[in-house]
Amino acid sequence: MSVLWPALLAGVSTFFLGLFVWVIVQHLLTVEIPSTLKHPAKLRFLHCILLYLITLGNILEKLRICSMPRVLQFVQDLILIRKNPNVVVTDTHFGTVPVRLFKPKEASSKYRRGIIFYHGGGAIFGSLDTYHGLGNFLAHETDSLVLLVGYRKLPDYHHPVLVNDCLNATIHFLKNLEILGVDPSRVVLCGDSLGGWAVATVTQVLTNMPNLPRIQTQVLIYPILHFINFQLPSYQQNKNVPFLTRDMLLMCICKYLAIDLSWSDAMSTGAVIPLDKWKKYRKWLSYDNIPRRFWSQDTQPEVFGPFNEAAYLETKHVWSAEISPLLADDRIIAQLPKTFLVSCEHDILRDDALLYKKRLEDQGVPVSWYHAEDGFHACINLFDKQPFSFPCSMKVANAVACYIKDI
């Protein structure tokens, strides 16, 4: 027995070390770091850690020990949150949905602005704790009451649980604005990445609920707004740029929408797109709507793979506006509130924001837009994570806060 324990320890150590070496090799062979991104070594290190955790999670999932999302969620729960002495934080539930309220400690003689925030994370990670710093920042910097929604995620919950939790928490908030001390004319709906998708979806649903206070502004931070055309310029240019590569994006999409991962190749090549649907929706989905300055010399025209009917039948639900809010009717789009869009140059989802910007503007919706030239996906999450923050992280956080302060 005395020999067994050292042998077991050596075997486990060798496994973890070998896995880390494999991850580094994979990173160096596949990941691209654009020359304009600042602190590339730091970005490589952080991406290797993320890739290591995902790979370890996938191995444990195949061994039926633990699911990959649970591995990421376990690690993120180890992150310590920082308290802000100027902000009062309250954990509670709106119905069955866990939420966290951030309120400036300093008393106010009038009702405050209200910010409802849906966090990102691909429905796999992201939590009330990982976005605690951003909640503190927005509450303090904008003198607002911030509601952070802790919606249910994978592996136990798939679409539409996430968006339903966000919608239900939002309705509860809107019905209790006076109790919470929020000005009904200054309610902001905000979110990043998949949270930005939830913002777009919930805001569209609320247009059919006239009895509720109206959302004054929606703020979408590098959102995903459709699950159809993966051949847009940004999907080509940034498919291997951290933190959201094309493979990682498709993995999150398939898991969240309960699509078998075997169909991801057909989705990426456009083999799931029927000709009749493309003729109807290309006016909103085509790369022709992306300003030419965002095209590169390597940008290829959209050439979809041979249509695969089986793949289409497995993925056809992505064509509903409830899943791809970019496809909403003009009647719905025209009713949306003024919008602030944030995009990042080195983000695979950059062009989703650009397509939505055009849709909104075509229907007369006022749009403000901030584009981070040195930005990448999920950069705002690192704005307070020294020494792992980037210049673009603080730029995006400040841009959002500055816009909201003017409401």
Which residues does the annotation mark as catalytic? 193, 347, 377
Strands in 217-221's sheet, in edge-to-edge order, are 87-94, 97-104, 144-149, 112-118, 182-192, 217-221, 338-346, 367-376
Crossing angle between the packed helical segments 391-405 and 132-142, to the nearest 10 degrees: 40
244 backbone dihedrals φ, ψ, rounded to 5°: -115, 95
d(Cα 170, Cα 148) in Å, to the nearest integer?
10
DSSP 329-340: -HHHHTTPPEEE
Amino acid found at 64? R
Residue whose pair of structure tokens reads 């493309």 in the numeric block:
278
Residue whose pair of structure tokens reads 């140059």 in the numeric block:
345
Peptide bond just before 391 cis, omega within 30 deg: no
Residue whose pair of structure tokens reads 């070390």 in the numeric block:
17
Peptide bond just before 85 cis, omega within 30 deg: no
d(Cα 130, Cα 217) in Å, to the nearest integer?
24
- Beta strand pairing call for 87-94 and 97-104: antiparallel
Give the distance between the most distant pair of CA atoms in the chain.
75
Question: Helix, strand or coil for residue 298?
Answer: coil
Bridge partners (DSSP) of residue 102 are: 89, 146
